[in-house]
């Protein structure tokens, strides 16, 4: 894991850019903000940009944590109990902007039409109704490690998590594919396009759009619905390991691969899951920490915890960051839009 501890001067320099953006924007969701933050990200302190570019280009480690951004716990107010509670301006606007700037050095943040109303920056906190679910809003169960949006060809290159509060020190689990030891036969089998990976529940769109929906959006939504239906009815076969066989990328989500493989494939998968389990480690994010995981080289999850549901719970903000916005162009309304259908 790579770590960057920001010094006082760097924190101050980032604060100046955040001030400038916060004076003109009350949200990180607008196209105007995306364009301007891309420009100002080039003014982040050079050593911070160097660390992010090195992480992106050299692929030495799949996890990078930047620590030291300020979070004033009192100003945040209570951790919401529902993701729909998001006032504008957001109480975490300054943290959101700093996080977005760092992410913009790695690529372009993207949103999913199916997730959190198409917002680009997600909230991750425990929600009572989902306590036992395998999603970011769960708490009581181990969130099984996974590749983010593993089934989707447009899945993110980097998952960014910024910690606003984590009072009980709940651990985000991470496992780097480069640490995993596999016998030659298993490795070769995992490189074959022979595994089924089902869409996860968060990608199932509503069949009906909003009243008066734009024609282009209706068309994209329809297509996306069909794609997920197809992926469920006749799933494609995919490889778990791909890229350079000596230093492979990974695409795996055991929870959504269980019970649908051939007998041989399931055995290979069980071996792989055991090998990942053996190298899983974790990071306990502190307020102000920004953690990036390379979604092609690292699986991640979360340890179970007892949520409080009293406004003091763990609270993270989350971004999906793509290296190449163009590859999703046919699934977005226009060139500037970040929302993938
Ligand atoms: O809560 C965490 O630390 C990670 C949650 C997670 O897997 C995600 O948000 O994608
Ligand atoms: Fe995740």
Q: How high is the mean pLDDT of the chain?
A: 95
- Residues β-bridged to residue 196: 237
Q: Quick: pLDDT tens for 87-112.
A: 899 999 999 999 999 999 999 999 99
**Of the residues 136, 152, 286, which should be mutated to test ligand 1's pocket, given the most ligand atoms within 8 Å of the CB?**
136
**Any domain includes 38:** yes
- Say if residue 138's pLDDT is above 80: yes
Segment 262-268 shows an average pLDDT of 96
Position 319 confidence tier, pLDDT thresholds 50, 70, 90:
very high
Termini Cα distance of the chain: 33
**Within a domain: residue 183?**
no
Ligand 1 centre and the CA of 124: distance in Å? Answer: 7
Q: Please compute Rg for the chain using Cα positions.
A: 20
Mean local confidence (pLDDT), 105-128: 95
Nearest bound ligand to CA 301?
A: 1
Distance from the alpha carbon of residue 23 to the mean position of ligand 2, in angstroms: 32
For residue 231, the model assigns a pLDDT of 86
Pocket flag, ligand 1, residue 313 (CB < 6 Å): no
Is residue 251 within 8 Å of residue 298, measured between CB atoms?
Answer: no
Mean pLDDT value across residues 62-90:
95
> Can you tell me which atom of ligand 1 is nearest the CA of 171?
3
By DSSP bridging, strand 241-244 and strand 247-250 are antiparallel
Measured CA to CA in angstroms, residue 174 lies from 56, 234, 289 at distances of: 18, 31, 16
- State whether the beta carbon of 162 lies less than 6 angstroms from ligand 1: no
The answer to the question of residue 201 being in a domain is no
User: What pLDDT is recorded for position 165?
Assistant: 98
Q: Evaluate whether residue 100 is within a structural domain.
A: yes
Give mean pLDDT, residues 17-39: 97
* pLDDT tens-digit series, residues 153-203: 999 999 999 999 999 999 999 999 999 999 999 999 999 999 999 988 777
- Residue 66: closest CA among 123, 15, 148, 1: 1
Q: What value does the mean pLDDT take over residues 128-140?
A: 94
Any atom of ligand 1 within 6 Å of the Cβ of 172: yes
Is 193 a domain residue? Answer: no
Number of domains in the chain: 1
Report whether pLDDT(7) > 90: yes
Residue 206: is its pLDDT beyond 70? no
- Position 298 scores a pLDDT of 98
Domain contains 237 = no
pLDDT digits (tens, 9 = 90+) for 272-297: 999 999 999 999 999 999 999 999 99
Q: Please compute the mean of the pLDDT values over residues 71-92 and round it to a whole number.
A: 93
For residue 256, give the ligand nearest its CA.
Answer: 2
* Residue in 302, 313, 321 to alter for ligand 1 test, most ligand atoms within 8 A of Cβ: 302
* 203 CA distance to ligand 1 middle (Å): 16
Q: What is the CATH number of the domain that holds 309?
A: 3.60.130.10
pLDDT at 207: 63
CB burial readout 6-32, b (16+ within 10 A) else e: beeebeebbeebbeebbeebebbbeee
d(C-alpha 136, C-alpha 112), whole Å: 15
> Which ligand lies nearest to the CA atom of residue 122 in the structure?
1
CA of 26 relative to ligand 2 center, distance in Å? 27
pLDDT exceeds 80 at position 204: no
Q: How many residues does the chain have?
A: 341
State residue 166's pLDDT score.
98
Residue 318 in any domain: the answer is yes
229 domain residue, yes or no: no
The domain in which residue 130 lies consists of 2-178+282-340
CB distance 238 to ligand 1 below 6 Å: no
């Amino acid at each position: 894991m790579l770590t960057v501890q920001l010094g006082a001067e760097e924190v101050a320099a980032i604060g100046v850019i955040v001030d400038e953006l916060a004076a003109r924007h009350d949200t990180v969701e607008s196209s105007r903000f995306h364009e301007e933050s891309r420009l100002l990200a080039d003014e982040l302190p050079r050593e911070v940009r160097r660390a992010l570019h090195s992480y992106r280009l050299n692929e030495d480690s799949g996890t990078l944590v930047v620590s030291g951004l300020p979070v004033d716990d009192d100003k945040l107010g209570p951790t919401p109990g529902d993701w729909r509670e998001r006032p504008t301006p957001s109480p975490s606007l300054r943290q959101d902007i700093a996080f977005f700037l760092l992410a913009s050095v790695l690529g372009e943040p993207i949103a999913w039409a199916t997730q959190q109303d198409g917002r680009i920056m997600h909230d991750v906190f425990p929600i009572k109704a989902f306590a036992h679910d395998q999603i970011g809003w769960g708490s009581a169960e181990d969130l099984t490690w996974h590749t983010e949006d593993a089934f989707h060809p447009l899945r993110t290159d980097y998952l960014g998590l910024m910690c606003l509060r984590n009072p009980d020190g709940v651990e985000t689990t991470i496992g780097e594919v480069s640490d995993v030891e596999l016998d030659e036969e298993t490795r070769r089998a995992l490189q074959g396009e022979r595994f089924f990976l089902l869409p996860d529940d968060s990608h199932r769109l509503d069949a009906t759009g909003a009243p008066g929906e734009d024609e282009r959006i209706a068309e994209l939504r329809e297509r996306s619905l069909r794609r997920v239906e197809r992926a469920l009815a006749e799933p494609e076969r995919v490889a778990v390991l791909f890229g350079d066989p000596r230093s492979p990328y990974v695409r795996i989500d055991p929870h959504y691969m269980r019970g649908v493989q051939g007998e041989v494939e399931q055995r290979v998968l069980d071996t792989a899951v055991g090998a990942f389990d053996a190298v899983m480690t974790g990071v306990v994010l502190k307020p102000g920490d920004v953690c990036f995981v390379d979604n092609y080289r690292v699986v991640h999850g979360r340890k179970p915890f007892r949520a409080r549901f009293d406004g003091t719970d763990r609270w993270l903000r989350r971004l999906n960051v793509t290296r190449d916005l163009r590859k999703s162009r046919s699934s977005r309304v226009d060139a500037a839009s970040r929302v993938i259908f």
